[in-house]
C-alpha cells in the first residue's frame, strides 16, 4: 500500500456540523422524515441530470432557481413546501469544527498536501472561505467550478490532478457513503465520518502526525 501524501476533506459534516441536522429540524415541521425531505431538497443519492440542487452544484443554474424547481420532487413525495426551505439551508447556522480545521495545519506541517473537495454553489464561496479559510488547503475543488459533483468521477480526477499526487496516495474524509464509493474505486483510502473525534482518530491511523 502506498504511503499517504495528501489528505482531502469534504465540507458539510466533516469541517462543519452536518447539514442533515438542519434538514431533520425542518422535517419535523413538515411532518415528514429527514430522509424524505433530504431527497426532495438535496436530490437522490445518485447524481442525476435533473434535480435543481444537483444542477446548481454543477454550476448549471443559480441558487435562486433551486426552490422554484423543487415542485415536482415535492409533489412526488407528497410534501408541501413553504417556499423558504433552500433559503433556510443556505443561511449557515452550522458549527465550524475548529479541532478539525486546526488539524489541517498540523498535517501540512508534517508534510502532507491538503485538499477540500466539496459539492457547493458559486454563491456560497465567500461564506465558506470566511468560515473555514481556503488558505488551509493546497487544492480547493468546488463542484460548480469543475462542473461535476460528487459522486461523479470527474471531480475526483480533478482533485488528484490539482494535488499532483497518485490516487493511492490520497485519503479522503466524507460523511456521505455514496461519495466514498468512487474514491475507493480509484484507489483512494477513505474515512466515513460520523463526528470530529472519530474522524481525527481514524486519520491518525492512516496519515499519522507526530503527537505534541
Ligand atoms: Mg458532507
Burial label, 206 (beta-carbon count in 10 A; 0-12, 13-18, 19+): middle
132 alpha carbon – ligand 1 mean position (Å): 14
pLDDT in tens, the chain (212 residues): 789 999 999 999 999 999 888 899 999 989 999 999 999 999 998 888 899 999 999 999 999 999 999 999 999 999 999 999 999 998 878 999 999 999 999 999 999 999 999 999 999 999 999 999 999 999 999 999 999 999 999 999 999 999 999 999 999 999 999 999 999 999 999 999 999 999 999 999 999 998 76
Measured distance CA(191)–CA(184) in Å, rounded: 10
**Residues counted in the chain:** 212
179 alpha carbon – ligand 1 mean position (Å): 9
pTM of the model: 0.95
Q: How far is CA 133 from CA 96, 126, 127, 162, in A?
A: 11, 10, 9, 18
174 alpha carbon – ligand 1 mean position (Å): 5
14 alpha carbon – ligand 1 mean position (Å): 6
Question: Hey, is 158 helix, strand or coil?
Answer: helix
Q: How far does CA 98 lie from the centroid of its chain?
A: 17
27 alpha carbon – ligand 1 mean position (Å): 19
Measured distance CA(194)–CA(179) in Å, rounded: 14
Amino acid at each position: 500500500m502506498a504511503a499517504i501524501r495528501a489528505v482531502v476533506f469534504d465540507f458539510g459534516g466533516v469541517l462543519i456540523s452536518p447539514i442533515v441536522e438542519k434538514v431533520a429540524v425542518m422535517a419535523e415541521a413538515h411532518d415528514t422524515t429527514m430522509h424524505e425531505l433530504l431527497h426532495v431538497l438535496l436530490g437522490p443519492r445518485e447524481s442525476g441530470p435533473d434535480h435543481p440542487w444537483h444542477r446548481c452544484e454543477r454550476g448549471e443554474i443559480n441558487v435562486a432557481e433551486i426552490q422554484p424547481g423543487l415542485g415536482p420532487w415535492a409533489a412526488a413525495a407528497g410534501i408541501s413546501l413553504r417556499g423558504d426551505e433552500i433559503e433556510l439551508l443556505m443561511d449557515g447556522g452550522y458549527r465550524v469544527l475548529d479541532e478539525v480545521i486546526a488539524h489541517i495545519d498540523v498535517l501540512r506541517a508534517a508534510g502532507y498536501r491538503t485538499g477540500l473537495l466539496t459539492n457547493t454553489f458559486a454563491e456560497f464561496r465567500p461564506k465558506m472561505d470566511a468560515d473555514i479559510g481556503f488558505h488551509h488547503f493546497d487544492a480547493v475543488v468546488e463542484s460548480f467550478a469543475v462542473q461535476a459533483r460528487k459522486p461523479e468521477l470527474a471531480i475526483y480526477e480533478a482533485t488528484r490532478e490539482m494535488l499532483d499526487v497518485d490516487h493511492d496516495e490520497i485519503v479522503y474524509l466524507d460523511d456521505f457513503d455514496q461519495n466514498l464509493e468512487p474514491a475507493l474505486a480509484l484507489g483512494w483510502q477513505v474515512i466515513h465520518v460520523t463526528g470530529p473525534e472519530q474522524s481525527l482518530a481514524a486519520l491518525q491511523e492512516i496519515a499519522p502526525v507526530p503527537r505534541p
